[in-house]
Amino acid sequence: MRIIETIGALQEHLGQCRDQGKTIALVPTMGGLHAGHLQLVDKAKTSADIVVASIFVNPTQFAPNEDLDKYPHSPEADKKGLVDRGADVLFLPSVQQIYPENQTSDYEVGEIAALLCGKSRPIHFDGVAQVVSRFFDIVEPDVAVFGEKDYQQLQIIKQLVKRQNRNISIASIEIARESDGLAMSTRNKYLSTSERMLAPHFNQALRQAKSNYESGMALDDLINKARESLGRPFELDYFEVLDANTLTQITTSSADVIIVSAVKLGITRLIDNIVFRRSNV
């Protein structure tokens, strides 16, 4: 695996790959890699000839009171994981490489950024779109691979590709979970031992809500029951049942449903979702 730190060196190498007729997949990450990230690499390897994984903790998607300075950092383990999984290139740019002076980008996301996670993290998705757009400019991938745990982010990136008229295929993989159902996340490292024991109840609440939905329970009752079941020690941000394709209210024509939620457990913010097809459509 090549480790490349500058844009010029990366573009020179990828240019040589393209001259050989090879396609390129991008797996952008912020490091602190877990098995879910490595599954993204697996997906990328089936989607293109060359897999570029990047590690860059993007400052523009963190609010001043968030964990930019404390975000989990495990460079040696990350490198080993990527080598073992068969990534071809690890791109490790500095902030100055990604955001040189006077560099501008189309990163105003619009209404979707104000929904769900965007209500409590108002700058987050504009920052995500900014850095993803920047990586697309640099790498010019044929395919980019993302996880479905950050479902709102995934929809925003799909919209970004369409809005910017980019010839990039967006691939995704299902949520990677621990054996007890907890969605894998770099921030799970923040959980204390007692919090980690409680954390699986979050996914259990979503699965119960799905069961209630499929049994015909009214949405308001379903959501209220889920909120009550989470209760303490979870601090609820939101719990919604929406059209999975639009992240708006379900209508008679909605084919796919998402049950999506965010909570805090101690200092740790957890997000999770379940997407499924309606049986009566």
Q: List residues with catalytic annotation.
A: 37
* Integer Cα distance of 249 and 83 in angstroms: 43
The answer to whether 61 and 124 are in contact (CB under 8 A) is yes
Q: What is the dihedral of CA 249, 254, 259, 261, to 10 degrees?
A: -40
The order of strands in the sheet holding 143-147 is: 2-4, 89-91, 50-55, 24-29, 143-147, 169-173
Q: Which two tokens stand for residue 176?
A: 């990677």
User: Helix H segments across 140-259?
Assistant: 151-163, 193-198, 200-214, 219-230
* DSSP letters for 28-61: EE-S---HHHHHHHHHHHHH-SEEEEEE---GGG
Three-state DSSP class for residue 117 = helix
Residue 25, phi then psi, degrees to nearest 5: -115, 140
